[in-house]
Structure 1
Amino acid sequence: MPDDSLPGPCHLCGGLRGTRIDATWVCADCTWRYGDVPDADLSLPRVDVVYYLRFDRRVKIGTSRQPRRRLARIRHDEILAFEPGDRTVEQRRHHEFATAREVA
């Protein structure tokens, strides 16, 4: 299913992209069901994402639980992708793409 714009920002992560599943919108960034409000008495669930950025000919793979804030601090030309995941997934991706790595 293609991603589209949510009716408003996700209450959990602030994401704006979503996927419609039956009659429900789901955030494309954190998979939170749009319209559900996190319980104010509980801490927000931790949602880590692995991001892929292109700058010139290089690709950066990183992890953040606040990707908007993180990406605002990193110079890049293009956001290539996001996927749910933590540092374990990030390390796995670095290992998968190790043969393409450039040493500065």
Structure 2
Amino acid sequence: MPYTNELIQKLKTCPPIDLVEVINCLFPELTRKESEVLYWWAYGSSTNEIAKIIDVTNDTIKTYLKRCKVKLNQDSISDIRLIFHSRYNSLSLAINLQLSLPSRHYKL
């Protein structure tokens, strides 16, 4: 995941066209469609509901979620919900409070 400060700067200089683009910035390891499915999953939609929203089959949604699990290196599909909210909420908080977060480049 890109550093929060860099991501905020990127979003300021090149505003996203939609929320999925922001989520895709938070999860560059995922495809756009996987990011969209992750968003709906993270906010409690069932696989059947997501399938109807994005007009694909339920099995396709399950495949996207499995790919998310693998790409985010998580043991369970429920864990990706926690990862989503952690990244999304920290970005939202930083933007809303106009915070500048410390650099992640630490000297050992």
Q: Give the alignment's TM-score, normalised by structure 2.
A: 0.21
Relative to its length, the structure with more helix (as a share) is 2
Q: Give the alignment's TM-score, normalised by structure 1.
A: 0.22
Structure possessing the higher relative contact order (Cα contacts under 8 Å, 6 or more residues apart): 2
